[in-house]
Amino acid sequence: MESRNRCSVIIIGAGISGIAAARVLAKNGVEDILILEASESIGGRMKKGSFGGVAVELGAGWIAGVGGEKPNPVWNLAVESGLRTCYSDYSNARFNIYDRSGNIYPSGVASDAYKKGVDSAIRNLREDEPHNATTPETPIEKAIDFILHDFEMAEVEPISTYIDFGESEFLVADERGYEYLLYKVTEDFLLMSDGKILDDRLKLNTVVRGINQSTDGVTVTTEGGCVYEADYVILSVSIGVLQSQLISFNPHLPVHNNFVL
């Protein structure tokens, strides 16, 4: 059966953006909020996993942009919450690449594939015809293509994080994970006990499928058929989720060349 609930602001997504938005609202006296999160926990792309008995970061691992003129808010939160970090200067960093059986690729094979990937990227930049570039084929070429293009070069210089907040980077080296920072932030405004969130203003496992705006406010519909009403909605899902069209909007979001603006 359909249930209806009304509040001032609905926040969709409990990653760092959604949680930070909720915290700002709470600090400014807006406590009549509802956070709807699709997964079973807060954190979004800040998420830890376990590998060989130790905690590893599956998403964000570094705090980038420290030591500049402006204070980096993420760094401030890390310091406030006592998150353990270490300075990261990359001078002795190396990537190990493993095959599906868990065997490490010999460094010669990896460096040849890396050189091929770099040469292809440089050719791609110099030539107007991108189809002249080599397409990665083998598993190791694909892994290196990912590191080189999706990981290292996805953001175009100049990168505002480094300009605004400084050029230093710190690696999160804390068994509690980067996500610990989020739980510390959440303590400020949601009811918690023993590290668990007990506040019913956070609804986990709740996938939003529809957002309708009207003169009366906003109506949000979930996969389970619940309908929530609010004066305002803050949507913090990724561009990828928007492009997947999982969520229907009324009125539609503006779209240009298949990209949601």
Distance between CA 87 and CA 83 in Å, rounded? 13
For residue 251, is the peptide bond before it cis, meaning its omega torsion is within 30 degrees of 0? yes
C-alpha distances out from residue 135 to 36, 110, 197, Å: 41, 17, 47
Q: Does 218 bind ligand FAD (CB under 6 A)?
A: no
Report if residue 55 touches ligand FAD, rule: CB under 6 A: no
Which region holds residue 58: left if phi is over 0, alpha if psi is between -120 and 50, else beta?
Answer: alpha
Question: For 197-219, b where at least 16 C-beta lie within 10 A, e where not — what string?
Answer: beeebbbeebebeebbeeeebbb
Sole window of 26-34, 137-145, 194-202, 240-248 interacting with ligand FAD (rule: CB under 6 A): 240-248
**Distance in angstroms (rounded) separating the CA atoms of residues 189 and 191:** 7
Residue 206 beta carbon to ligand FAD: minimum distance, rounded to whole angstroms? 6
Nearer to ligand FAD, 111 or 205 (CB): 205
Please report whether residue 84 would count as binding ligand FAD according to CB under 6 A: no
CB of 76 to ligand FAD, least distance (A): 14
| DSSP characters over 19-79 | HHHHHHHHHTT---EEEE-SSSSS-TT--EEEETTEEEESS--EEEEESSSSPPHHHHHHH
Q: In angstroms, what is the minimal distance from the CB of 228 to ligand FAD? A: 11
Looking at 9, 10, 11, 18, which residue binds ligand FAD (CB under 6 A)? 18
Shortest Cβ distance from residue 172 to ligand FAD (Å)?
A: 8
Please give the structure tokens belonging to residue 72.
């980096």
Residue in 62, 162, 232, 249 binding ligand FAD, rule: CB under 6 A: 62
What part of residues 23-52 is at the interface with ligand FAD (CB under 6 A)? 36-39, 44-46
| 208 is an interface residue for ligand FAD by CB under 6 A | yes
**212 touching ligand FAD, by CB under 6 A:** no
Q: Kindly list the residues in this chain that would bind ligand FAD in the complex (CB under 6 A).
A: 12-18, 36-39, 44-46, 59-62, 64, 207-208, 236-238, 241, 246-247
